[in-house]
Each structure stands twice: as structure tokens, then as C-alpha cells.
Copies of this chain bind each other. A is one copy, B any other.
Amino acid sequence: MFTGLSAFPHSPLRDDVVDESAYGVLIERLVAAGVDSITALGSTGAYMYLDRAERRRVATAAVRHAGSIPVMVGIGALRTSQVLRLADDAQEAGASAVLLAPVTYQALGDDEVFGLFEDVTAGLSVPLVVYDNPGTTHVTFSDELYARIAALPNVASIKIPGVPVDPAEAAARVRAIRDRIPTSVGVGVSGDSAAATGLNAGCDVWYSVIGGTLPETALRISRAALSGDHALATAESERLEPLWAVFRAYGSYRVTAAIGEILGLVAPDSLPRPVHGLTREARTLVARLVDDLDLRA
């Protein structure tokens, strides 16, 4: 489950209510493409904006539509007791694994982050993915903290926030992490523009934003890299550079929602306010990229 392409679908809203019908279509699109796993309620899945009942409904819908494809469910929240309840809900919904980022309001020290993972992993019946997402959590993981957390029970994989651009440096970075963690714990790359480099450098899995909306596009990269055709993975990622550029300019979250809207998969205004969708100008640019880069799958 912690190899290949893990696709992170958007949780679209319609008039501030989760659009379960559109969500089902998104999930079935991932199933049809043959992604290796689906991660519901990641950052792209707006987990931090949804309340407990909404998150339970999204997790349940993901599992129902995913068929035999394993579903991981994001359980991050600010308070440990809330995370524990969300972990219970995710497992009851049929999640095959859970994903946990140490989200913060008050800044957390390493012992506090470790304590969160210790408290949560202790009671799990499914594996856990450690979600290192400094851009949204404002937590910086040291390799020492990776090592402490990876030694906890039920930890299966670490979602790292990227790798160096240089292939040799990227490989050294992945090796350095692996040297600190048990061999049973995998390493997955996120930051879509770094995915080909990360997989070529030895990551097991790509935790992919774009994979949730454009699964075939993402699978071309993950399958090439993991079958050893590093050059093809790199070439395909380089072909998508204009997409990575708009990710950098507007944020992958807003751009991916816009692509879903442009493809008619989700209704307009699908993001949780106060987050705005792209401006008309940016949306026009993204719509042109969808055509120019042949991003309809």
C-alpha cells in the first residue's frame, strides 16, 4: 500500500457543503486509472476545514467508491483527543491506514510532536503515515525526530516534503533518512514537482496532489520511475514544468481545484472560504495549460 502512486483527491464543497456526488466521481476516476492507493482528507482533501461529521462522511464515501484500492485517511487536528476520535472514525469507516500531520496553533517542540505520535500510534489497528508538511503545519522535522517517530509501533511510511533538485543529492537525502529509520518504514515524496526526482532517488511512493485529479498523468511518472525508466519519469515531469510553475505561483491546492472545475469534475467555488479560488486571469492560464499539456486525465 505504501508504494507507487497515492492519489490525494480534493474534497469539493458546493454552497459550503461537501459535494459527495462530485467526490464519488473523483474517487471512481482514480479507481478507473488504477492508482495504487487513495489518500482521502489530505491537505488537498481540505481535512483541516471540515468538522468531524463531514470528515466521517468523506472517509466513508472514499472507502465505498474505492472498491479494492486501499484508502488512507488524514486524521490531523490541533488537539490530541480530537485526533484520537478521528482515528477511531477513520478505522470505523474502513480506512486501510491513517495519515497524521502535527498541525499547530501554539508552536510545538520536538517532544510535543513526538508525544502526539506516541499517543496516537499506541491505539491504532492500522498503519500510520507520518505527514511532514512544514508549509501548512509550521513544524520542522529533524532526522532525529523522524528516527524517534519511525520507531513507534504502527508507523509505516514518512511523507517527506520534497528532495533536492540534483539527482545525486536527492539519492543521498533519501539514503540519509533510511539510515535513521527501521527498514519496515517506507519513505514517500510529496511536492509534485519533486516527485520524479524523489522516486528516481529511491522513494517508495509519491503522495501526490495532482494524482487526485489527473491520475493518468501522475501514473506515467510513478510507473516509469518505479520500473527503472528514470529518464522517462524525468522527461514527463519536465514536460509538466509549466504546471509546477503555476503550483508555485498560486499553490497546488487552488490550482488543482481549478483543474477539477475546468474539467467539469467539480462545481465552481469548491474551496472552503476564506480560501478563494484562482482569479479569472490565473484560471484562464490554467485552462490553457490543461489543453497545451494534454491534462484531461
Interfacial residues, chain A to chain B (CB-CB below 8 A)? 16, 43, 48-49, 51, 78-82, 102-103, 105-109, 111-113, 115-116, 119, 135-136, 138, 251, 253-254, 272-276
Give bound CA distance, A251 to B251, whole Å.
31
Most buried by B among A51, A79, A116: A79
Residues of B within 8 A of A251 (CB): 106-107
Residues of B within 8 A of A116 (CB): 273-274
Which B residue's beta carbon lies closest to that of A252?
B106
Residues of B within 8 A of A136 (CB): 105-107
Q: Could you show 14 A-B contacts with beta carbons less than 8 Å apart? A: A16-B81, A78-B272, A79-B273, A80-B274, A81-B272, A102-B274, A106-B136, A106-B251, A106-B254, A107-B135, A108-B274, A111-B276, A112-B275, A115-B274
Interface on chain A toward B: helix, strand, loop, or mixed SS? loop
- Copies of this protein in the assembly total 2
**Min CB gap A2→B, angstroms:** 24
**Min CB gap A297→B, angstroms:** 26
Residues of B within 8 A of A80 (CB): 272-274
Cβ-defined contact, B16 with A275, below 8 A:
no
Residues of B within 8 A of A111 (CB): 276
Cβ-defined contact, A48 with B105, below 8 A:
yes
Give bound CA distance, A227 to B25, whole Å.
66
Partner of A113, one of B16, B103, B109, B274: B274
Residues of B within 8 A of A49 (CB): 78-79, 105
